[in-house]
Amino acid sequence: MLKHTSIDSPFGELAVLWRKEAALRIVRIVIPAPSQTVPESMLDYADAVAGHHSRVDALCAQIARSLAGEQVPLPIDLLDPSVCTPFQWRVLMVEKTIPRGQVRTYRQLAVAVGSPRAARAVGNALARNPFPIVIPCHRAIRSDRSLGGYCGGLEMKWALLEMEGIAFDAQGRVILQDKKPGS
């Protein structure tokens, strides 16, 4: 049975969709989008019922703290990789390694997953990320340092990056910081 747990955040309501069958698995995290609120998005999951589980509630609390600006580890052990293609899961696992306060280009991610000519496919895989926030797809940008896209909209992507210390120039492009060894 599909269940959902809601999260209040500075960005509005979010929902975590999960199942507890043989194992507890998160199947989707729904965030507000410019064209659709979370309650509207939840119409796609009409069979989901409200529910709680201690591990889901703990993850929801961590997500809420993260969205409030805290640096909180967001574990992936509950995520259900079967809702992704193998390529998408590889992309998401590389994306998860980007440290808070840093970004990578879609091209850099393509190289990291072993498909250097697949920047567009990487962007498409991230656009369909079923686990936003836990898999921080907002940390992927275009090669020209513009934001690209984000399921929660560009305002949310900008706000998440700023919260992590990313700065922008007058054209709205990410200002890349030179990281010194050991810093």
3-state secondary structure of 45: helix
Residue 128 CA to chain centroid, in angstroms?
10
Residue 31 burial (10 A CB sphere; 0-12, 13-18, 19+): buried
What are 94's two structure tokens? 């590389």
Question: Which residues form the catalytic set?
Answer: 137
Backbone angles phi, psi at 8, to 5 degrees: -90, 135
